[in-house]
């Protein structure tokens, strides 16, 4: 009973928040609505017994991803109203709902047709975080390492793309060139600061 | 009234539909990224629900890797977006039509 109440409450909240995210013309409303929607989604994970996943959802999405978006929005002009020019708005809704229904059908059809059996069953004696750790560091070790490498690549790419003066490679330059560059750069920087 | 797997899958489908509508509707690239996050979250709910109702941890594992992919996607995507904004001053999709087909 309580599970049903919680499910319908959080389902309504999540759908409402994500609808605001998709439909609003204010970028800040979209950001805050999506942050709250992410937290409401973690409630589903707690209801489904995936405690660790719920915690990760809160930490990673509302902690890291949303903070990154908020940080990125400082670069862009977000105060103006977003212009969404549409030639035919109705076809978008029809296409979206149809595609999602099709995807759900494709994903559900193997579950309906055959009896699936668990490869890594959830044991009641072991807590969720412990069970996740056991499976993650034995059966899924290689994907875990690959994910770590991918995150490292993404971090370096983010730094290089968003950082300043990254177009010059210091490792490919001789010592004299670096000294020359810093010597020419320094007076210009002080001039800029003085102008401000 | 019991909540079954179908409930969660329908919810996942509804959220996925909202995300798809956002992807097709938005012309601002930052808002387009928001819609892709909604898509990833919708699939995460589906994975966690199947993991729970089939008593299997594999679904939760996939959800973890999806979260990792989403985090790296945001890092690289925002970096590219900042470079594009510095170059053109706009992040609208309509001005990116550089090829005349």
Residue A35's pLDDT is 92
Give domain status of residue B98, yes or no: no
Give domain status of residue B37, yes or no: yes
Give domain status of residue A27, yes or no: yes
Torsion angle of C-alpha atoms B35, B66, A155, B79, degrees rounded to 10: -10
Give domain status of residue A121, yes or no: no
A158 is written with which tokens? 């983010």
For A113-161, write each residue's pLDDT tens digit.
Answer: 666 666 777 776 777 788 888 888 888 899 999 999 999 999 898 888 8
Residues A35 and A9 placed together within one structural domain of the fold: yes
Suggest the residue from B18, B29, B35 to mutate for an interface test with chain A (most A CBs closer than 10 A).
B18
For A90-117, write each residue's pLDDT tens digit.
Answer: 887 788 888 878 877 776 776 666 666 6
Would you give per-residue pLDDT tens digits along chain B (101 residues)?
788 888 888 898 889 889 988 888 888 888 889 999 999 999 999 999 988 888 888 888 999 999 999 989 988 888 888 888 888 777 777 777 777 66
Structural domain span for residue A15? 1-84
List the single residue in B12, B57, B71 with the smallest CB-CB distance to A151: B71
For A32-72, write each residue's pLDDT tens digit.
Answer: 999 999 999 999 999 988 889 999 999 988 888 888 888 87
Output the 3-class SS for B36-65.
Answer: HHHHHHHHHHHHHHHHHHCCECHHHHHHHH
List the single residue in A111, A136, A161 with the smallest CB-CB distance to B83: A161
Q: Please state the ipTM of this predicted complex.
A: 0.90
Residues A2 and A70 placed together within one structural domain of the fold: yes
Using the beta-carbon criterion (under 8 Å), do A118 and B56 form an inter-chain contact? yes
CA nearest neighbour of B36 among A103, A53, A22, A146: A22
Structural domain span for residue B37? 5-93
List the single residue in A11, A45, A122 with the smallest CB-CB distance to B56: A122
Compute CA distances B76 → A147, A187, A195, B62, whole Å. 15, 33, 34, 21
Using the beta-carbon criterion (under 8 Å), do B79 and A143 form an inter-chain contact? no
CATH of the domain at B55: 1.10.287.3510
In eight-state DSSP terms, residue A55 is: H
For A111-120, write each residue's pLDDT tens digit.
Answer: 666 666 667 7
Using the beta-carbon criterion (under 8 Å), do A61 and B64 form an inter-chain contact? no
């Amino acid at each position: 009973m309580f599970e049903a109440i919680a499910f319908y409450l959080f389902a309504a909240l999540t759908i409402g928040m994500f609808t605001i995210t998709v439909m609003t013309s204010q970028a800040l409303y979209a950001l805050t609505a999506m942050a709250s929607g992410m937290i409401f989604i973690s409630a589903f994970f707690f209801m489904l017994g995936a405690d660790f996943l719920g915690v990760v959802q809160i930490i990673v999405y509302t902690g890291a991803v949303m903070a990154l978006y908020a940080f990125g929005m400082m670069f862009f002009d977000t105060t103006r109203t977003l212009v969404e020019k549409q030639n035919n708005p109705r076809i978008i809704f029809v296409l979206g709902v149809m595609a999602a229904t099709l995807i759900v059908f494709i994903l559900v059809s193997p579950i309906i047709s055959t009896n699936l059996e668990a490869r890594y069953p959830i044991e009641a004696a072991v807590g969720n975080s412990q069970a996740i750790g056991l499976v993650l560091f034995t059966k899924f070790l290689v994907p875990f390492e690959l994910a770590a490498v991918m995150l490292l690549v993404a971090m370096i790419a983010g730094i290089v793309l968003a950082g300043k003066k990254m177009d010059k490679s210091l490792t490919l330059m001789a010592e004299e060139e670096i000294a020359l560059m810093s010597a020419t750069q320094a007076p210009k920087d002080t001039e800029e600061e003085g102008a401000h | 009234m019991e909540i079954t797997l179908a409930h969660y899958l329908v919810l996942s489908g509804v959220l996925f539909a909202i995300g798809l509508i956002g992807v097709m509707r938005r012309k601002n690239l930052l808002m387009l990224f928001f819609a892709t996050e909604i898509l990833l979250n919708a699939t995460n709910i589906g994975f966690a629900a199947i993991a729970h109702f089939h008593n299997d941890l594999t679904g939760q594992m996939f959800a973890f890797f999806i979260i990792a992919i989403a985090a790296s996607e945001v890092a690289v995507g925002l970096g590219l977006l900042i470079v594009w904004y510095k170059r053109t001053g706009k992040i609208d999709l309509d001005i990116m039509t550089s090829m005349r087909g």
